[in-house]
Structure 1
Amino acid sequence: MTYKTLTAASLAALLLGTGGALADTWRYAFEEALEEVQGKFAQKFKEEVEANSDHEVQLFPFGTLGESADIMEQAQSGILQFVDQSPGFTGALIPEAQVFFVPYLLPADRDQLFSFFRNSKAIHELFPPLYAEQGLELLTMFPEGEVMMTTTEAVASPADLNEVKFRVMTNPLLVESYRAFGATPTPLPWGEVYGALQTGIIQGQENPAFFIESTKMYEVTDHITRPGHNNFTTAVMANKDFYDGLSDEEKQVVQNAIDTAFEFIIEYQTGLTEESLTKIQEAKPEMTITTLTDEQRAPFMATAESVEQEFLKIGGDQAQAILDQMKADLAAAAGG
């Protein structure tokens, strides 16, 4: 039996056997390894909860309970109390969350980016009811780092992506974005990506630098390109029935831990991108790392309007309201 094929009943039995049934134990799964950004956030959350309550937080890194779809199902069913998952995977459940994949919408400036995530009305007011409809309490969203392309051939323009099978998350708008970039978008679960690159089934994928380095994606690609089109966003959620059942004091413990972990992870990311790129270059000196010029980025940026229009078509009933509020929030973050 593999974790990926666990039924809800067998998973519950497994968790009962590992102490998961204890009333004071909260289970928290995420999409990355323990020492990656989501794992660091989860560890800080665990530390804060356990220091300020009688509860224990049990952490489940990527792969221990299956793929992203598996942990979301487990969170919705109440097997997990907390889950960290990118809108890239929740887009099928919450189509409005796909807005985070409109290219060149989020700012490249770190101060503006962090101000947006701290203060955004879209995140803190408009998104929570949409998550609640799916049985989830949205606790926070945070950025994980500039998204970069890793490919087997160099990329300097959309023409270089022609006929390139490019792995994307199972997210309709991300598919549309890479189609607009000129690639052949190929949705794949994360667990299959390294092997697919190794065997030539796909020729590219995107992720922040720390993830490219830690998962050794550079071993099966030869070029990293920085088109500046996005910053990877993730969301921490609780099972809503569980959260609603907490006392006011327990809810405050959770929110304080979330707030502390948010500030911690923002600070943790300082210098992380360049440090990760240095490690990649040291591990594979022949790897090319290219930051596209403004001129080179222009044709990629020109696709943003068409992807935005596609979002308005497929992004759910609140798509226009979400997009408008996000733009207002981004303008505020930029001082506009």
Structure 2
Amino acid sequence: MSSRNLFTAAAAGCALFAFGTQAAQADTWRYAFEEALDEVQGVFAQKFKEEIEANSDHEIQLFPYGTLGESADIMEQAQAGILQFVNQSPGFTGALIPEAQVFFVPYLLPQDPEELNSFFRNSVAINEMFPELYAEQGLELLTMYPEGEVAITTKAPMRSPEDLNEVKIRVMTNPLLVESYRAFGATPTPLPWGEVYGGLQTNLIQGQENPAFFIESTRMYEVTDHITFAGHNNFTTALMANKDFFDGLSEEDQELIRAATEAAFDHILDYQEGLTEASLDAIRAARPEVTITWLSEEERAPFEASAESVEATFIEMTGSRGQEILDQMKADLAAAAEG
């Protein structure tokens, strides 16, 4: 057994021991996510917990990043039923659900906040097609939501693909994200999040990508010197429930969960208004010498040109189902743009 699997088994055993007295009760539900309590996923989780507990006798126990292991660990625990809810990016679920990697096709999602929010709220792909794919993996997809425009942090300035030549950029363990950064001219380097800060300190890697709030809260600006917005993506995440758990609930409890999800979705979209700007202000205050750059349309053009090859790779990976997802997403995005 690998060391990660040993950890997962140990974490699962600890969880079962800690909550064994509550296992027979339906009113204590466990919810793990990939960020800290005061970051976007944590804020979403707290609103979800507030809604559940205000409208029922149920209790939600929250487990921020690291308390039950890495992303792969909490997904395994959710599939095993140890966790009732898990919030995880398609960047990590891409190994289970290859079609979810569509969110890493560069320049697919819009930058306009109203268009973006409309897409996530009304998308046929998200609300009708993806739930079937998640169900095949024992997961009930409750919602997907954006977390903020992705920025690339590097040690040297970055304004063109040539600037990324031989630069090792940390990526999630996601084949399409690897392909995206390869198309950008970089050397994509998959690493667990817990190794990123140290990897930048020791020059094992020279860059990484994340929304501004996460760059600020995790102090990535301490170990990289340049923050660049290339307009290539917005970080997407998803809330899921263990499907056996969800299907075994009463209609009343299922509706309770869906209502809490909708309230948390609305709350997190409102919460993110101005969040990028506030995070960048905090970074400037903490380390004024960090440069923050938005690439011009002309500078973005060579990066944007790579989208076609990444799309082709996505279809190679996922076949006809991936093509259907991509086509529907483009139709959903067009509808969001029309308002």
Structure-2-length-normalised TM-score: 0.96
| Candidates 174, 178, 183, aligned match of 2:177 | 174
Q: What are the Cα deviations for residues 183-219 of structure 1, in whole angstroms up to 9, with x where unaligned?
A: 0000001111000001100000000000000000000
Task: Return the offset for 1:5.
Answer: 4.9
SS at match of 1:29: strand
Q: Which residue of structure 1 aligns with residue 142 of structure 2?
A: 139
1:27 aligns with one of 23, 26, 30: 30
Note the C-alpha offset of 1:7: 2.8
Match of 2:153 in 1: 150
- Aligned partner of 2:195 in structure 1 is 192
* 2:266 is the counterpart of 1:259: no
Structure 1 counterpart of 2:203, which letter?
G
What's 2:310 paired with?
A: 307
TM-score (norm 1): 0.97
Where in structure 2 are the equivalents of 1:1-336 lying within 5 Å?
4-7=7-10, 9-16=12-19, 22-335=25-338
**C-alpha displacement of 1:315:** 2.5
Q: 1:304 to 1:52 in 2, by over 3 A?
A: same
Q: Report which stretch shifted further, 5-14 or 20-29.
A: 5-14
The answer as to whether partners of 1:213 and 1:279 remain within 8 angstroms in 2 is yes
Contact 1:4 1:65 in 2 (8 A): no
Other structure's SS at 1:207 match: strand
User: Identity, % of aligned pairs?
Assistant: 74
Contact 2:140 2:241 in 1 (8 A): yes
Q: Which amino acid aligns with 2:239?
A: V
Give me the whole-angstrom Cα distance separating, in 1, the residues matched to 2:21 and 2:247: 25
> Does the residue aligned with 1:185 lie in a helix, a strand or coil?
strand
Structure 1 residues 247, 17: CA separation in 2 closer, same or farther (over 3 Å shift)?
A: closer
- Deviation of 1:10 (Å): 1.5
- 8 Å CA contact retained: 1:139, 1:255: yes
User: CA shift at 1:325, angstroms?
Assistant: 0.1
Structure 2 unaligned segments of length 5 or more: list them.
none
Aligned residues: 336
Deviations 1:77-123 (A, max 9, x none): 00000000000000010000000000000000000000000000000
- Structure 1 unmatched runs, 5+: none
Mapped to 1, the partners of 2:190 and 2:17 lie a distance apart of: 30
CA contact (8 A) 2:16 2:82 kept: no
CA contact (8 A) 2:153 2:225 kept: yes
CA contact under 8 A between 1:96 and 1:316: conserved in structure 2?
A: no
Q: What is the Cα-based RMSD across aligned positions, in Å? A: 1.7
Provide Cα deviations, 1:296-326, integer angstroms capped at 9, x if missing partner. 0000000000000000011355100000000
Deviation at 1:13, TM superposition (A): 3.1
Letter in 2 for 1:180: A
> Aligned partners of 2:223, 2:24: CA distance in 1, in Å?
42
1:17–1:235 Cα change, 3 Å: same
